[in-house]
Amino acid sequence: MAQWKQLQAATDGITTTVITTTSDTRSVILLTGVTGKTAPPRARLRSLGVDVVVGDLISATTVRRAMRTDVRTAFFLPARAPLMLQHAAVFAAVAEDARVPQIVMLSQWLASPNHRSLYTQQVWLAERVFRALQTAGRASLTVVAPGYFADNWLGFGLLRSAVQMGVLPTIFGTGTNAPPSNEDIGRCCAAVLAAPLHQYAGQTFRPTGPTNLSWDEMVAVIAKVAGWKSLRVMHLPRWMASKAMSQQGIPPFAQANFLEYPVDSSAGAFAVNAPTNHVKFLTGCDHEGFETIVRRYAAAPANRRSVANFLAALFGLMGIMFTRGWNLKKWAKGFEVLASSETEEVMDSDDWRESRLGPPVIL
């Protein structure tokens, strides 16, 4: 008889129910990258009785310790790190050895082999590694591939600056997007993990928000929630954006990749095939609108209007000029983490069109 286990996982006040089932002896879902954005943090999981293995995905020994013989589904969340592709290779090899029947991967809408971002190239290749297991009949693969998160427009002190000072620093300016919330992405992943084994084998889901919005429309929503008639948008050049991201503790590898995505936005890549109904299909819930997401962020203690938060926002903005930025091209060359020299726009990529614009999922 199938055994059922219910896990209540609360993330930022939102509770998701993950149900795992097994026929035979496999009943465990293995999650990686549990840091709190799209999955509940480790401490919360431990309090719920979940086994937690702390280690590095580059270590086959660590992954073997976590990838037990009773694992039914393994969830791979790619770290934004130079050795992410090695993480994927280790994960795939150990999953094959353990005969894990199903892999779920959180990927990227932009994943393509010749993207200007090395990380995005690696995400595409990691997908291919897991698809090879599926082709060989070793394990099925389901991909969740969101576009640019709403969090990237609101986190990192950006919303605090908008609420406290009416100033919104950004690296974007054109293009449209239907940005999904972290919570909706997490719920979609949980729904795929909770579904019967292989129910979504071979399918790719793209969580989005409910509406495609231009950058000006998103700025207007942020201004409305922040209580300003309008916002002063501060477009940051690459050198200043690197300083701002360094101030927020973002390492140079992640910076070099983030700074490539505005080009995709301007080309309209995030607007292609958006919005989708995948959040509703997988979770039964309507996807969160951008204003709903902004209001949740604005309610956070660090973003509420106060003298202390105003001073923090002011000194944070002023401190950008005194923060060390990176010469990212020189850094990448020195650490040999350069993307392919034969790059192309995703809108011109046949590989991207084949993987993202192919036959739609069956809903």
Q: In what order do the strands lie in the sheet with 102-106?
A: 28-31, 71-76, 102-106, 140-144, 204-205
Q: Does the pLDDT of residue 125 top 70, yes or no? A: yes
Tell me the pTM: 0.87
The H or E element containing residue 16 is strand 14-22
R_g of the chain computed on alpha carbons: 21
Q: What is the token pair recorded at 88?
A: 């994927």
pLDDT of residue 15: 27
Q: What is the token pair recorded at 113?
A: 């082999």
Q: At what angle do helices 158-165 and 307-319 cross, to 10 degrees?
A: 120
pLDDT of residue 36: 62
Higher-confidence position of 337 and 317: 317
Strand (E) positions, 246-327?
A: none
pLDDT of residue 197: 92
The per-residue pLDDT for range 157-211, each reduced to its tens digit, is 899 999 999 999 999 878 899 999 999 999 999 999 999 999 999 999 999 999 9
Answer yes or no: are the C-beta atoms of 316 and 158 closer than 8 Å. Answer: no
Residue appearing with tokens 């969101």? 146
The per-residue pLDDT for range 6-46, each reduced to its tens digit, is 322 322 322 222 333 334 567 899 988 876 665 666 777 77
Answer yes or no: are the C-beta atoms of 85 and 125 closer than 8 Å. Answer: yes
Task: Report the C-alpha gap between 178 and 124 in whole angstroms.
Answer: 22
Q: Does the pLDDT of residue 339 top 70, yes or no? A: no
Neighbours of 263 (CB within 10 A): 15
Average pLDDT over residues 131-151: 95
